[in-house]
Amino acid sequence: MMFMAANPKIVTRVAPSPTGLFHVGTARTALFNYLYARKHGGKFILRIEDTDKARSEKKYEEDIVNGLKWLGLNWDEFYRQSERTEVYKKYLQKLLDVGKAYLDGNAVRFKNPNKKVVFNDIIRGEIATQTDDVGDFVIAKDLETPLFHFTVVVDDFEMGVTHIIRGEDHISNTPRHILLQEALGFNIPQYAHLPLILGTDRSKLSKRHGAASVNEYREDGYLPEAIVNFLAFIGWNPGDEREIFSLPELVKEFSLERIQKGAGVFNIERLNWYNKEYIKKIEPEKLAQKLFEYLPDEWKKEAEKNKAMWLKIVNLEKDRIEKLSDIKGGIGYFFNKPVYEKDLLLWRKEPDLANTKKHLEEVVKSLSAVDENNFEADKIKEAVWNFAEQEGRGSVLWPFRVALTGLEKSPDPFAVASILGKKETLDRLKNAAEKI
């Protein structure tokens, strides 16, 4: 006799073990389960599989929960397996009573009927497995300590799970689970096994490929929208050229049938591209608040004191940064006078100290005539451009840039000068001339 789930609507679940940090593989599995449930008006369950008491830790559970919340993958129901021992005990006893399991010392073994198990995987098609070599596998250490294969099967039935969407590393577990489902008289859910995520060199994903825990990405200044969009495209695509999708748009477009069988590739450069695109979408004032959190404390004080200047810096840098933490790498010259060797002031096509000094002094004269209250990028450019054209742009603008920033590469030096203000700009140009 087969029991039907009480609720006929689609129910999916993500079932991580709290034995490590919340990583991108689990995050993608959660995302695909979430998308499928929401697409069909169904239910999405978070189940913490913490029956491995020796390895499970509360801090890892918190990391999983916080990571899912941050990504916007909100669940409808939450369960913790360690709180469900009595439920498992009931079903263990049922199998023992009907002779489909037996005690081996304290352990409980499932009596394998040694049959061929066939199931239709939504992604991979028909999969057939002969279960003779599985043997009579252990499903509980004792009646108080059920093991993974058993708890998963019981919970999926009790929670009404209709679609089990999980990694392809679980394909070998599925025949065991179906044997248990049949022995207990449970309905068989539909299975969809997701492709692995590999590094760009097609090897197992690791830190050297840029893979990290979700919280590490958060701390490094990645946006949740970018990570969700990026993860969705590892193994799935919408069937056209579109690349940018919000979470609601992904819900609308998602289908299991468009998931590929072959492994997906984790490309950190692609994630950086997504993140940069999402950073560009943020309103300047809101972006300024987000970026502020990544500043060193001494810079925060200055940014707080001069909010108008900080907003100008953000507008100048927003199209250059790939992640929020990048902000602190290229703007130090706004908060501290630059330190550099005088040779850096020399334009490579004219390594002449005397000419470089003359050019800097001439720029000082030109900028001294610009109204302090109208010291804007276009006015600054207008004041020095004719001279730069006459002497050679590189010969004039290279030392101008270096004097202001101490860097070979920076944003538009006229914009930098405008943010620094007239007094600070002239001071830096004079200091540069005095170095020579």
Query: Mind telling me the catalytic residues?
Result: 207
Q: How far apart are CA 288 and CA 84, in angstroms?
A: 47
Q: Please give the Cα distance from 103 to 108 (Å, whole number).
A: 5
Residues with Cβ within 8 Å of residue 43, at least 6 apart in sequence:
7, 9, 10, 11, 12, 37, 76, 77, 160
- The token pair at 325 is 């933490």
**DSSP run (H or E) holding 104:** strand 101-104
Of 380, 378, 361, the C-alpha closest to 422 is 380
Amino acid at 91: Y
**Residue 124, token pair as written in the block:** 């991979």
**Three-class secondary structure of residue 121 per DSSP:** strand
Task: Read off φ and ψ for residue 283, nearest 5 degrees.
Answer: -60, 140
d(CA 132, CA 116): 8
Cα dihedral 128/133/136/139 (nearest 10): -60
- Which residues, in sequence order, are CB contacts of 305 under 8 Å at separation 6+? none
What whole-number distance in Å separates Cα of residue 424 and Cα of residue 418?
10
Q: Would you say 212 and 197 are in contact if contact means Cβ atoms under 8 Å apart?
A: no
How many whole angstroms separate alpha carbon 363 and alpha carbon 380?
Answer: 10
Of the CA atoms within 13 Å of residue 41, those in its CB half-sphere come to: 3
Side-chain-side CA neighbours of 89 within 13 Å: the count stands at 9
Residue 14 and residue 217: Cα distance in Å, rounded?
21
